[in-house]
């Protein structure tokens, strides 16, 4: 038998954890962050399929390396399995998903319903985003909703959690217990407004933030200096977005085509100069992690390795950010094992029983 | 948030530019560019307003006082009855100066005189993460980001720090109504409530 892990409900991995004082959610990510451990989160590439195995397989490669998995909500305005659906599957298996909610596709009625539904399924973390414009995705003819913005969405979630009310003031019988997150982009203009914007997000209810891809460490350092001066690092956990670049060509493409991602020339030069650009991209990511983890006020990293998910484990391992700690990992429990042992014959042997046979064996 | 599909190298292309380039200029292009860009061809006046945000802030303060002074008049005629003509003027004046979208809950004084409803995502609390390096909009590559301008405008203003207050979600039921009259009515109501409270306190003080 494998012993019960830290941050796991003894009655079942799919159940929320015991409430702790000072915690607003019953999830694993908040516990890790509040213990002061360096957190690692990542993003699950949402499948274009209706097969739950696709989600499980994509989550499996992060096993034992990350504290929470972002379930993206049609990122880049491209159609994929919904974040609510991915969260439903992940919570069943005991993972700690971060449910992303984008304001692009849903109005306040749908969003509040999803917050309740997600929380009921055991989603402890929700990340409130504005969302990319529809023009960025595969269906640019869609109607952009943007009924709320990320700030009012955060506030809506906070009101639901703390006041136990909908935005309309109607009461909830059981309020959701949530750890609220937001996104920051320190690398886009207006640069001097960005720290204040984080302050607004904290005022609206953000407890943790994940940043956009950080490739420019000096720029991020200046941002963090300002954020520390304003005293926001005590009120909010900051996770830095990092990720491997596949090649110099990809980097250039991202720089020109993906709004909001800032890649300095030095990074491209470094990739171009390398023999194996993919390996260099990974090494660059590890180097950035090693630099940013030393910046005071940084509580973790958010590793986004789109279509290179298999590198997440290597990046986390080689950067050594976990310091020997092993995040929760899905394991086969004793009872599961027992069922598997006893029922293996049924599962794997190909027996076709007829009702007549069954009656005979019963006698 | 960060979906990237590596493709062939090329300049920045958005749907608007793709469609625009697809046909020669003389052709009829019903979808041409995005709806906002189609309505709005020049940003000169909007940008002038942002540059003169301090002047406009000063002017609006006087203007709001004047409107409040006229409260008895509005009340006499009936707010419902003046709504139509006032809205007519407000829509045209603010439409010309700020490209106003008549959300009916004006926050220009908190956003550096840059109307946030011109943001394709209609953000009322600050810029999204997609602002281009040159300060232009992610969705409308030719348009200066409304919020970059708002930040610049607010820096000139006396009450520029109002940009830091968190705005409530837009109440869609107030669309196409006069914000001037609403603000005036609210200010008058607040003034009366304060006066009533004062009188009440004085009365209880007198009776005691």
Question: Is A16 part of a structural domain of the chain?
Answer: no
The predicted pLDDT at position A177 comes to 96
* Contacts (Cβ under 8 Å, ≥6 apart) of A204: A151, A152, A154, A155, A158, A182, B125, B166
A-chain residue closest to B152, CA distance: A190
pTM for this predicted structure: 0.87
Question: Is A19 part of a structural domain of the chain?
Answer: no
Peptide bond into A16 cis (omega under 30): no
Question: Is A17 part of a structural domain of the chain?
Answer: no
Cα Rg, chain A, nearest whole Å: 22
Question: Is A130 part of a structural domain of the chain?
Answer: yes
Question: Is A358 part of a structural domain of the chain?
Answer: yes
**3-class DSSP assignment, residue A44:** strand
φ/ψ of B182, rounded to 5, equals -65, -45
Question: Is A107 part of a structural domain of the chain?
Answer: yes
pLDDT band at B9, cuts 50/70/90?
very low
Question: Is A2 part of a structural domain of the chain?
Answer: no
**Given an 8 Å threshold on Cβ–Cβ distance, is A76 in contact with B3?**
yes
φ/ψ of B154, rounded to 5, equals -70, -25
Element (H, E) at A301: strand A298-303
Smallest Cα–Cα separation from A260: which of B140, B138, B8? B138
Question: Is A15 part of a structural domain of the chain?
Answer: no
pLDDT along chain A (363 residues), means of 10: 73 90 95 96 96 94 95 93 96 95 96 97 96 87 92 97 96 97 95 96 97 96 97 96 94 88 94 94 96 96 93 94 91 77 73 79 79
The predicted pLDDT at position B14 comes to 61
pLDDT tens digits along B75-104: 999 999 999 999 999 999 999 999 999 999
How many folded domains does chain A comprise?
1
**Given an 8 Å threshold on Cβ–Cβ distance, is A135 in contact with B132?**
no
The predicted pLDDT at position A260 comes to 87
Q: What is the ipTM of this complex?
A: 0.86
φ/ψ of A151, rounded to 5, equals -70, -45
B-chain residue closest to A211, CA distance: B129
pLDDT tens digits along B23-60: 566 666 555 556 666 666 688 999 999 999 999 999 99
The predicted pLDDT at position B39 comes to 62
CATH number of the CATH domain containing A155 = 3.20.20.220
B-chain residue closest to A304, CA distance: B2
**Given an 8 Å threshold on Cβ–Cβ distance, is B139 in contact with A78?**
no
Interface size between A and B, measured as CB pairs under 8 A? 163
Say if CB B77 and CB B84 are below 8 A apart. no
Note the helical H segments in A104-231.
108-121, 150-158, 194-204, 217-229
Residue A120: give the domain boundaries: 28-362
**Given an 8 Å threshold on Cβ–Cβ distance, is A133 in contact with B138?**
yes
Q: Is the pLDDT of residue B128 over 90?
A: yes
Q: Is the pLDDT of residue B121 over 70?
A: yes
């Amino acid at each position: 038998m494998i012993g019960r892990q830290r941050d796991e409900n003894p009655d079942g991995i799919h159940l929320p954890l015991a409430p702790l004082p000072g915690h607003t959610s019953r999830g694993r990510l908040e516990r890790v962050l509040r213990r002061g451990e360096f957190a690692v989160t990542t993003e699950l590439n949402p499948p274009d399929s209706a097969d739950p195995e696709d989600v499980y397989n994509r989550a499996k490669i992060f096993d034992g390396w990350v504290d929470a998995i972002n379930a993206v909500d049609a990122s880049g305005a491209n159609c994929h399995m919904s974040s609510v659906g991915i969260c439903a599957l992940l919570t069943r298996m005991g993972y700690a998903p971060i449910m992303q909610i984008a304001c692009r596709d849903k109005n306040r009625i749908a969003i509040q319903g999803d917050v309740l539904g997600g929380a009921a399924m055991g989603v402890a973390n929700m990340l409130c985003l504005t969302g990319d414009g529809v023009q960025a995705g595969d269906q640019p003819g869609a109607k952009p909703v943007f009924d709320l913005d990320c700030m009012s969405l955060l506030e809506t979630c906070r009101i639901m959690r703390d006041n136990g009310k909908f935005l309309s003031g109607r009461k909830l019988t059981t309020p959701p217990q949530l750890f609220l997150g937001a996104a920051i982009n320190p690398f886009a203009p207006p640069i001097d407004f960005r720290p204040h914007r984080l302050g607004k997000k904290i005022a609206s209810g953000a407890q943790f933030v994940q940043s956009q891809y950080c490739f420019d460490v000096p720029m991020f350092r200046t941002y963090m200096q300002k954020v520390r001066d304003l005293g926001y690092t005590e009120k909010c956990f900051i996770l830095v977005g990092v990720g491997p670049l596949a090649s110099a060509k990809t980097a250039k493409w991202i720089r020109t085509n993906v709004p909001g991602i800032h890649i300095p020339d030095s990074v491209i030069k470094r990739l171009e100069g390398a023999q194996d650009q993919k390996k260099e991209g990974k090494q660059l990511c590890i180097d950035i992690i090693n630099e940013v983890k030393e910046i005071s006020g940084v509580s973790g990293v958010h590793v986004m390795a789109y279509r290179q998910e298999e590198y997440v484990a290597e990046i986390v391992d080689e950067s050594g950010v976990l310091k020997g700690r092993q995040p929760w990992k899905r394991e086969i429990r004793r009872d599961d094992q027992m069922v598997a042992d006893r029922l293996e014959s049924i599962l794997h042997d190909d027996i076709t029983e007829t009702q007549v046979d069954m009656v005979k064996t019963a006698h | 948030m960060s979906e990237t599909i590596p493709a062939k190298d090329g300049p920045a292309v958005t749907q608007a530019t793709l469609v625009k380039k697809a046909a020669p200029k003389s052709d009829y292009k019903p979808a041409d560019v995005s709806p906002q860009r189609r309505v709005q061809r020049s940003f000169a006046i909007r940008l002038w307003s942002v540059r003169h945000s301090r002047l406009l802030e000063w002017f609006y303060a006087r203007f709001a006082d004047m409107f409040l002074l006229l409260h008895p008049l509005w009340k006499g005629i009936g707010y419902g009855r003046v709504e139509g003509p006032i809205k007519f003027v407000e829509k045209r004046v603010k439409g010309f100066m700020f490209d106003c979208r008549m959300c009916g809950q004006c926050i220009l004084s908190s956003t550096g005189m840059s109307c946030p409803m011109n943001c394709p995502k209609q953000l009322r609390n600050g810029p999204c993460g997609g602002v281009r390096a040159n300060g232009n909009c992610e969705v409308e590559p030719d348009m200066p980001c409304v919020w970059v301008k708002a930040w610049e405008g607010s820096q000139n203003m006396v009450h520029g720090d109002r940009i830091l207050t968190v705005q409530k979600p837009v109440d869609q039921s107030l669309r196409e109504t006069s914000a001037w009259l609403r603000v005036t009515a609210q200010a008058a109501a607040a003034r009366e409530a304060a006066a009533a409270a004062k009188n009440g306190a004085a009365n209880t003080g007198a009776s005691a």
